[in-house]
Amino acid sequence: MEFEARCERSGHLTFGRSILKDSPEKTDALLESGKEHYLPNYAPAPMVLDHGKGARLWDTQGKEYVDLGAGISVTALGHGDEELVGILAEQGARLWHVSNLYFSEPAIRLAEELCAATFAERVFFCNSGAEANEAAGFHGRTLATVTATAQPKYHQGFEPLPGGFRYADYNDMDALEAEIGDRTCAVLVEPIQGEGGVVPAAPGFLAQIARCCRRHQALLIFDEVQSGLGRSGRFFAHQWEEGVVPDVVTIAKSMAGGLPMGAMLVGPEAADTLQPGSHGSTFGGNPVAAAVARAVLRRVRSKELIANVERQGERLRARLLALHNESGMIEEVRGKGLMLGAVLRKEWAGRAGELVDHCRRHGVLVLQAGPDVLRFLPPLNILDEELDEGMDRVAAALAEAAAEAAADTPADSAAVR
Ligand SMILES: *Cc1c(COP(=O)(O)O)cnc(C)c1O
């Protein structure tokens, strides 16, 4: 309410409706300037986002979007959450940076709470998933993370890469066993692959990796940057597998609800590595991010939120399965909780990006995971009506794409298909 009043005073917006939108000329000028002044490493969609509430966003033209991507699994509690905004303002006014030369209470409390809630004995704070993975036993600040990813597209142009990494196909235990030996120091694995196409670990896979690591005295590291903190319907996605205890878990993305923050959580086996001076991060454990993260942690561990992830995850899955039947575009729905992927059928393989654009034009933001998978990572506290509205728009977008494709296809070749 207070925020709404402030927005109205600024003469710009209210939640739910833009009362004054920018002129199309101003938006076009912003887009032009962004293209001209950013390095061309991203390909942002041609709109300028302006404000959000819950699972809805509005651009500078007043167009509304249902946000089913949550800034790539980051805004787990949606946009403009009153509690988080309040904490941000309060901590910002009190103290917002001191560096790791000094202690501050929010980060100490957060570390305490993370250790109490998990297997961890110690925590290293940083600002991103790459940094958290980098800290997980590697050196340098990000090149090792690029190397740790098996996908060659992330390696290209960055050679020479640090040595010593081996890769094995996901969910192929024989391949993994062949790579692990007594000289293996650690195995790093995502319990549900995110960018790799939303692929959950097959039942038994993580337990087998854990046994193999114990046998060879290798550390077991789970990358839960995307899958952790309630996203899968468990606090950590690896908890879907009974009795697997990692040595290290990396988290980031949703950790501070949208502020940059990451962490490496470390169990007893490795808790005393990284002695003074061996590693660091100037912003790591920033008081503002830490204060907000404490509230996020409390909320994502609550029964209510986990129940919502389970229920909305089922509803989303049901909508995607219905689309599978209606549109004929989807071959398989996979993932867990509110981390779901819709795998496109052969005829649509390679066209996920195009479908994401269709969805955006229909007022719903979804993601892709590679060229063949539509990825859904909505806020964990999404409401029924937000999810329903979003999926109605996805259905309309896919129907339009299918109709366009049918119109482009000569009748005889359509008959062949
Ligand atoms: C996003 C992501 C990362 C990298 O995180 P950044 O914050 O972009 O550095 C690492 N691992 C996984 C599984 C991710 O999803």
What is the per-residue pLDDT across 219-266, written as a single tens digit (0 to 9) for each? 999 999 999 999 999 999 999 999 999 999 999 999 999 999 999 999
Cα–Cα distance for residue pair 224/395, rounded to 1 Å: 30
Cα–Cα distance for residue pair 416/401, rounded to 1 Å: 20
Q: Mention every residue, 6+ apart, whose C-beta is less than 8 A from residue 278.
A: none
Token duo for residue 280: 């660091």
CA of 29 to the centre of ligand 1 (A): 32
Map tokens 């076009």 to a residue. Answer: 28
- Ligand 1 pocket, mutate which of 253, 281, 368, 377 (most atoms under 8 A from CB): 253
Q: What is the pLDDT along the chain (417 residues), one digit of tens a residue?
A: 344 444 443 334 444 444 568 999 999 999 999 999 999 999 999 999 999 999 999 999 999 999 999 999 999 999 999 999 999 999 999 999 999 999 999 999 999 999 999 999 999 999 999 999 988 875 445 677 777 788 888 787 777 787 888 999 999 999 999 999 999 999 999 999 999 999 999 999 999 999 999 999 999 999 999 999 999 999 999 999 999 999 999 999 999 999 999 999 999 988 888 888 878 899 999 999 999 999 999 999 999 999 999 999 999 999 999 998 888 899 999 999 999 999 999 999 999 999 999 999 999 999 999 999 999 999 999 999 999 999 999 999 999 999 999 898 765 554 444
Roughly how many angstroms between the first and final C-alpha of the chain, as a whole number?
55
CA of 253 to the centre of ligand 1 (A): 7
Count of residues making up the chain:
417
71 neighbors 83 (Cβ within 8 angstroms): no
The sign of the dihedral angle between the CA atoms of 105, 111, 116, 122 is negative
Distance of CA 362 to the CA centre of its chain: 23
Whose Cα sits closest to atom 15 in ligand 1?
226
Map tokens 């929010």 to a residue. Answer: 106
Please tell me if the CB atom of residue 191 comes closer than 6 angstroms to any atom of ligand 1. Answer: no
> How high is the pLDDT of residue 397?
97
Please tell me if the CB atom of residue 337 comes closer than 6 angstroms to any atom of ligand 1. Answer: no
CB atoms within 10 A of CB 77: 23
Angle between helices 384-408 and 352-361 (to 10 degrees): 120
CA of 261 to the centre of ligand 1 (A): 11
Angle between helices 287-300 and 303-327 (to 10 degrees): 80
Cα–Cα distance for residue pair 85/329, rounded to 1 Å: 40
> How high is the pLDDT of residue 277?
80
Token duo for residue 276: 């003074």
CA of 345 to the centre of ligand 1 (A): 27
What pTM did the predictor assign?
Answer: 0.91
> How high is the pLDDT of residue 164?
84
Cα–Cα distance for residue pair 305/231, rounded to 1 Å: 10
Pairing mode of beta strands 248-251, 219-223: parallel
Closest atom, ligand 1, to C-alpha of 127? 7
Domain 2-74+303-405: which topology? Aspartate Aminotransferase, domain 1 (3.90.1150)
CA of 102 to the centre of ligand 1 (A): 28
- Ligand 1 pocket, mutate which of 42, 225, 231, 339 (most atoms under 8 A from CB): 225
Cα–Cα distance for residue pair 97/94, rounded to 1 Å: 10
> How high is the pLDDT of residue 311?
98
- Ligand 1 pocket, mutate which of 74, 128, 143, 192 (most atoms under 8 A from CB): 128
Chosen CATH of 82-300 out of 3.30.70.520, 3.40.1410.10, 3.40.640.10, 3.30.43.10 = 3.40.640.10
> How high is the pLDDT of residue 48?
97
16 neighbors 37 (Cβ within 8 angstroms): no
Please tell me if the CB atom of residue 229 comes closer than 6 angstroms to any atom of ligand 1. Answer: no
Closest atom, ligand 1, to C-alpha of 131? 9
> How high is the pLDDT of residue 298?
98
Domain spans in the chain, listed from the N-terminal domain onward: 2-74+303-405, 82-300
Annotated binding site for N(2)-acetyl-L-ornithine: 141, 281
> What residue type is 165 in one-letter code?
F
> How high is the pLDDT of residue 161?
80
> How high is the pLDDT of residue 140?
46
SS3 content of the chain, % helix, strand, coil (to 5): 40, 15, 40
Closest atom, ligand 1, to C-alpha of 128? 7
> How high is the pLDDT of residue 386?
98
> How high is the pLDDT of residue 195?
94
